[in-house]
Structure 1
Amino acid sequence: MRVVLVANFDSGLKYVGRLAEAVAALGAEPDIRVPTTGLPHKLGAGQVAAATSRPITYEPWDEIVRAAAGSDIVVPVFEGPAVERFIRQVHAEAGPRMPVVGTGYVGMVLYDVVGGYLSRSLADVVAVNSRSDLAEFTGAVRGLGLPEGNLLLTGLALLPAATAPLRTGPIRTLLFADQPTVPRRVADRTYLWDRLLGYARRHPDRQVLLRPRHRPGEETFHTMQHSPVAWAATRTLPSNLLIEHAPIDTLIPRSDLLLTVSSTAALEAVAAGTRVAFVADWVGDAALNPRLLPSGLLRRFDDIEADRIGTPDPGWLDDVFPAAEGASPAHRFVARLIEIAAGDAPRVHQAMWDSSFHAGRRATDAAIAGGATAPTSRYTPKRIAAGALRRALKLVER
């Protein structure tokens, strides 16, 4: 049984890398592919090495669609609209031999909750990261009269089934997981990094690691506009404050406290037993943290400096680690896909495809696009070129 796994950025590649391990463990053949056209991507060698050690095939979008159509199972891991476009094109290519389709989310679902699910809802299996996500997705399914059966509560596939015991003791190493666009404004980002600098000076016996989301020149789904590397060049950093680019999952186990505004790295830290604080100097939709309010971990920087750190709320832990017993989230996801492909469980793709909602959605997209049979992507060649030009001009300005 051949399983095609497709991603275009480092976070998605890390996700499909976890799935590939589960695919191999269950006796199927993982086939990881990265599109070179159709979606922007820029994966540096370090990003690939950190994501997976398995071989990767780079090829044009249309070639991946054809490969997927000839597979038993395909798992596209993109942003929602691109997942929908991919599934539609595989459906057109495969016809009655449509492979089983699965998809999921590479991190916490912090915005566009219902819209994101609907863009993925043509899949036979949507891996759901939390109980609260499941409740909202189920509400969308029932409210729109969609076929039920493709929602599988797994937990985030990057994580283990259960968390390690929370470590206690003195804080010797603090790790800050920076985000590319949270906060977005340069003044806010500068304030945040300056607070880290102040923390390092206030606690000279502690090591403070500032981990950028990616290195300069690399890209992620949300490309960093204001880099802490550029900020650091304008400051005199104390010896205990370091900019660190090592993979986040290698830094978390040796850290005593992880700080972030709203990065999914916090869940990886909780899973590893590392204490976590969400920086609450900004709270709102732009900070992507309203859905984190139940965690019990939001703290202003003044509290963090004074070591007033909380512990995860048990209800929140149960929400974001729903598979605390049994197989890992990745294993649960892949096992369901294989079960469907083997004919041992029903599939819902065709029922979803034929539903009045999706038939109408395709008709609307075709009308808006002037008769096209698939929705237009925001990643048109013109927009990709314009984005590259803007980034180049910003580099020149610096």
Structure 2
Amino acid sequence: MPASTSKSPRVAVLADSDTRWKWGALTAHRLVPGGRLDGHLLRGRATPTPRQLGEVDEAGVRPDSVTEVTAAEFLATMARERYDVVVLALVGGGVQAMLHGLTHAWRGRERRPVVVTGYVGVVYEKVTDGLLLRHGADLVLANSRRDAERFRAVYEGVGVDASAVVEVALPFLGGAPYRPADPYTVVFAAQPSVPAGRADRAYLLERLVRHARRHPDREVLLKLRSRPGEHTTHVEELPYQKLVRGLRPPANFRLVYGHMGEVLDRADLLVTVSSTAALEALHRGVPTAVLTDLGVREALGNHHFVGSGCLVSWDQIDAGRVPVADPRWTQRNGVAPGDAYGTAFDAARGRIAALLGGAGPGVIAPYYDARTAPGYVPGLLARYHLGVDGVPLAGAPRADRPSGPVRQVVRRAARGAYRHGVQRVAPVVRRLGEL
């Protein structure tokens, strides 16, 4: 794969949360093995903490640099620096804004980088909206055959080119195949926003604690995505750390953090509502239970697992049932067992090599612009301080402004205030509104 200004290819990743940073960095590593990796973290409520960034290091990928940026700062860097591949690991609106911004930043350049985007995990909501916001990237990665078929159908349905859709797999699958542990270990993979309500979250936690009491010979782990004060891709208003207070769980119940792969190394049963961790467990052959206690509903995302053989209730788990995944389902849904994972990124790497080796990628042409969506695009871009032409708006954070200690303290304080509002003030206001 040719490089623009260095001996090895250069890859830039722009991410807006810890999970998207993990997906973006590992995807870049899979797509351009051995390339220089520069991480850019979009400043906002969910900017990853050093501990969260360390989980990517634990997964075996060490970026050459990591910088916190605003949208304007990132676009200025893209206009100034030469990269071969740019991975946009962002929410759909962020991808759309950057596509317009990069069009302006690279205007007049003879060759531009290949732009790649995709999804962090299971795609179960806002499928059409999210896909159209990502249209315009050179590669839109689909984590399974099922997703690739759905993505192409959406693009073809609105009359745009669907050739950017490339089937791959989740970049963080892997690890040692399942082997029974001693003691038998049950892991519940918590999610920040699924379910969202206090009663539902308290119910799941109570059932997990009850399972630990029923099986004192087992180790029961509650795997949490973030520590208190940290944020993830989705806002967590009711952290399990707070809900567990007062339950007095038994000694064989513990809260754990860190890299999911390390937790799965000792898991005999992975339990979740709809976490992407289920796919990681299934890839390894770890028995996986997707809970039906709160219903099988689109709002929960567990409808994605219909046909998998993994849908069970806590009552069935307590009674000793161990789900067995249907191999036909796993093959269509990105689990990529055995040797299939080793070649999952070959097509994407081939597409990138062809674009860089030929005449280069053409002009970025998103489906959404001022002509197709005049009531949508301007407001969407304005959230990132961009005009409809992709030019930073007056008053946008300046790219040449140094990030001194005062600005860093103010940013940390602002993020802390936001988190306090989300986790403490907002639930109280909602409860008052229900009186």
Task: Compute the TM-score of the two structures, normalised by the length of structure 2.
Answer: 0.79
Give the share of equivalent positions with the same residue, in percent.
30
Show the counterpart of 1:337: 352
Show the counterpart of 2:425: 394
CA shift for structure 1 position 361: 3.1
SS in structure 2 opposite 1:294? coil
Show the counterpart of 1:299: 312
Q: Could you say if the C-alpha distance between residues 251 and 164 of structure 1 is closer, same or farther in structure 2, counting changes exceeding 3 Å?
A: closer
Which has a greater percent of helix? 1
User: Does the 8 A contact of 2:229 with 2:416 survive in 1?
Assistant: no
Please say if 1:35 is aligned against 2:46.
Answer: no
d(CA) in 2 for partners of 1:19 and 1:181?
Answer: 25
1:140-289 maps to which residues of 2 (within 5 A)?
140-160=154-174, 167=179, 172-282=184-294, 283-289=296-302
Tell me the alpha carbon deviations over residues 199-250 of structure 1, each in whole angstroms, 9 at most, x when there is no partner. 0011110000001221110000112111211122211110000111132221
Show the counterpart of 1:365: 376
d(CA) in 1 for partners of 2:305 and 2:376?
Answer: 34
d(CA) in 2 for partners of 1:362 and 1:385?
Answer: 35
User: Does the 8 A contact of 1:68 with 1:90 survive in 2?
Assistant: yes
Please say if 1:18 is aligned against 2:26.
Answer: yes
Task: Compute the TM-score of the two structures, normalised by the length of structure 1.
Answer: 0.86
d(CA) in 1 for partners of 2:240 and 2:341?
Answer: 40
d(CA) in 1 for partners of 2:353 and 2:68?
Answer: 25
1:321 is aligned, of 334, 340, 350, to 334
1:46 is aligned, of 27, 39, 51, to 51
Counterpart residue identity of residue 30, structure 1: L
d(CA) in 1 for partners of 2:244 and 2:378?
Answer: 50
Q: Could you say if the C-alpha distance between residues 289 and 222 of structure 1 is closer, same or farther in structure 2, counting changes exceeding 3 Å?
A: same
SS in structure 1 opposite 2:68? strand
SS in structure 2 opposite 1:327? helix
Counterpart residue identity of residue 47, structure 1: Q
Tell me the alpha carbon deviations over residues 135-183 of structure 1, each in whole angstroms, 9 at most, x when there is no partner. 21111122111023101011222224xx976656887000110011111
Structure 1 window deviating more from structure 2 (39-48 vs 188-197): it is 39-48
User: Does the 8 A contact of 1:150 with 1:347 survive in 2?
Assistant: no
CA shift for structure 1 position 325: 2.7
Structure 1 window deviating more from structure 2 (56-65 vs 79-88): it is 56-65
Counterpart residue identity of residue 57, structure 1: T
CA shift for structure 1 position 284: 0.9
- How many residue pairs match? The answer is 384
CA shift for structure 1 position 333: 3.5
CA shift for structure 1 position 8: 1.8
User: Does the 8 A contact of 1:125 with 1:150 survive in 2?
Assistant: yes
Aligned-CA RMSD value: 3.1
d(CA) in 1 for partners of 2:345 and 2:67?
Answer: 21
User: Does the 8 A contact of 2:183 with 2:217 survive in 1?
Assistant: no
d(CA) in 2 for partners of 1:235 and 1:165?
Answer: 34
Q: Which runs of 5+ in 2 are unaligned?
A: 4-9, 391-395, 398-413, 429-435
Please say if 1:65 is aligned against 2:65.
Answer: no
1:369-380 maps to which residues of 2 (within 5 A)?
372-373=387-388
Counterpart residue identity of residue 203, structure 2: Y
Q: Which runs of 5+ in 1 are unaligned?
A: none
Show the counterpart of 1:5: 13
